[in-house]
Amino acid sequence: MTSITPVILCGGSGTRLWPKSRKMLPKQLLSLTGEQTMLQQTLERVRGFEKPVIVCNEDHRFMVAQQAQEIGIESFTMITEPTGRNTAPAITFAAVAATKECESTNLLVLPADHLLDDVEQFHRAVDIGLQASSKGGLVTFGIVPTAPETGYGYIQKATGDGTDIRPIAQFVEKPNKETATAYIESGEYYWNAGMFLFSARNLLDELAEHAPAIHRSSVKAMDNAKVESDFVKLNLDDVNAIPEDSIDYAVMEKTRRGFVVPLACGWSDVGSWSSLWEALDKDEQGNVALGDVIMEDCKNSLVFGEDHLVAAVGVEDLIIVDTKNATLVAPKGRAQEVKAIVSKIKTAGRDEHEIHREVARPWGKYDSIGNGERFQVKRITVNPGASLSLQMHHHRAEHWVVVSGTAIVQRDEEEIMLSENESVYIPIGVKHRLTNPGLLPLEIIEVQSGSYLGEDDIVRFDDIYGRKQ
């Protein structure tokens, strides 16, 4: 039986879906089109294949593992990148890991942030692709276009017999509207969705031939990686030494063994708020309402409310996205320009492009519910059995009040048990740790006071999650 190892590429920041998608919580880890996140939907569509390999950013490793386990996927290999180097190195990492499990396995490479409506059609395309992959071919899946899109690259199929699979004639960059229309009318072009199927060994051989520097340095990075069970942690210096390139440029545009399989499955890369609007069900006026939203006399708009009511009256063709600490309003036709706002936020030295007001941590989460000069208030949730690092702060003191649950507080050499409505004070410079020994989440209110309240004022002495100082 042919072995298929799914490779889920879970990097990327999804800046065009700001302010919902941010660096520390990108779109692939969000629930945008249902109860499951986009990563979970991707994992579901490859359930039944071999143990998946997930390549993700080091900052997201705990959320990725948690989301996989939430849908019952306990066995997977996770490769964490301290910094991204594009898809060619990421797929090379996965190929090296997969061949250690099975030398002859095929890699089914999928981005973690795409939507597919027809999973059965997707599986049929994979079966067709195996015909070429098993004979040494490198297969990409070309999305049958439904419109002359200018936001996607295209793949031209070679002329010849057969419609299910063809050699690749060429890859072309994102076209203008006139060129895209000509592509559609010719019937010879597909959208390039960045999905691939090839033998891991053949991929490594092609990389060695066409991109030897990427091959050599990526294999070295895997050889030097820290391995703990199914967790592979790459070294920053090794990754920085790898040339940055996509698998398209590094291999697929150069190989003589490239094939394209057409795929018509209701695909979307959800690359902007307008494309999310297109992908979701709409009411009779063409509106999409997500969260707590009331609309009156609105047409063809998307309105998202995160934690409180958002009301819209008389708007048309608008995107309105409201989160706890940022709000976006834009014409639907200019949704792609959100990236310019993100760039301005970065330039201004702000942090709204990176984190939400509510921030996930491996032990739970915190929500910064209030702040001012020399103080900050957080609502902290600690998962059952979880523990924060043993730490201290140079510039702030903390006062913890238990809202619900039970807490064990280590304060220097002292250990304190707290219950609901009880509190403890942590002076500046005192080592401390917070633990939830119970079976229910621990909720506390933390009041910080001091001259500097940044998250980088943390000196860690011990951490069960292996986070660095």
User: What CATH number does residue 261 fall under?
Assistant: 3.90.550.10
Question: Is the domain of 107 the same as that of 45?
Answer: yes
Whether 104 is in a domain gets the answer yes
Whether 469 is in a domain gets the answer no
Question: Is the domain of 125 the same as that of 50?
Answer: yes
Question: Is the domain of 154 the same as that of 75?
Answer: yes
Structure confidence at residue 469 as a pLDDT band (50, 70, 90):
low
Tell me the average pLDDT of the chain.
95
Structure confidence at residue 450 as a pLDDT band (50, 70, 90):
very high
Identity of the amino acid at 339: K
Question: Is the domain of 261 the same as that of 277?
Answer: no
**Pair of tokens at residue 176:** 């203008």
Average of per-residue pLDDT across 224-233: 89
Q: What is the pLDDT of residues 180-223, one digit of tens each?
A: 999 999 999 999 999 999 999 999 999 999 999 999 999 999 99
Question: Is the domain of 150 the same as that of 51?
Answer: yes
| Cis status, amide bond into 19, omega within 30 of 0 | yes
pLDDT number for residue 160: 72
Question: Is the domain of 39 the same as that of 145?
Answer: yes
Whether 352 is in a domain gets the answer no
Residue 429 lies in domain: 358-462
pLDDT number for residue 468: 67
Largest CA-CA distance found in the chain, in angstroms, rounded:
78
Residue with tokens 């707590």, as numbered in its chain: 292
Whether 467 is in a domain gets the answer no
Structure confidence at residue 230 as a pLDDT band (50, 70, 90):
confident
Whole-angstrom Cα distance, residue 52 to residue 38?
16
Question: Is the domain of 99 the same as that of 34?
Answer: yes
Average of per-residue pLDDT across 51-72: 95
Average of per-residue pLDDT across 20-31: 94
Q: What is the pLDDT of residues 405-431, one digit of tens each?
A: 999 999 999 999 999 999 999 999 999
Mutual orientation of helices 212-223 and 87-101 as an angle, nearest 10°? 50
Question: Is the domain of 339 the same as that of 431?
Answer: no
Phi and psi at 399, nearest 5°, equal -125, 120
Final residue belonging to a domain, choices 235, 268, 301: 268
Whether 468 is in a domain gets the answer no
Phi and psi at 444, nearest 5°, equal -135, 155
pLDDT number for residue 2: 84
Contact criterion met (CB below 8 Å) for 404 and 442: yes
Phi and psi at 428, nearest 5°, equal -55, 135
Question: Is the domain of 362 the same as that of 289?
Answer: no
* pLDDT over threshold 70, residue 333: yes
Distances 204 to 79, 90, 99, 158, 167 between C-alpha atoms, Å: 17, 12, 10, 25, 20
Q: What is the pLDDT of residues 85-139, one digit of tens each?
A: 999 999 999 999 999 989 999 999 999 999 999 999 999 999 999 999 999 999 9
Cβ neighbours of residue 209 closer than 8 Å, sequence gap 6 or more: none
Question: Is the domain of 168 the same as that of 135?
Answer: yes
Question: Is the domain of 197 the same as that of 56?
Answer: yes
pLDDT number for residue 369: 93
Identity of the amino acid at 116: L
How big is the chain, counted in residues? 469
Final residue belonging to a domain, choices 268, 286, 317: 268
Question: Is the domain of 109 the same as that of 194?
Answer: yes
Contact criterion met (CB below 8 Å) for 270 and 17: yes
How many structural domains compose the chain?
A: 3
Q: Say what the pTM is.
A: 0.91
* pLDDT over threshold 90, residue 12: no
Structure confidence at residue 1 as a pLDDT band (50, 70, 90):
low
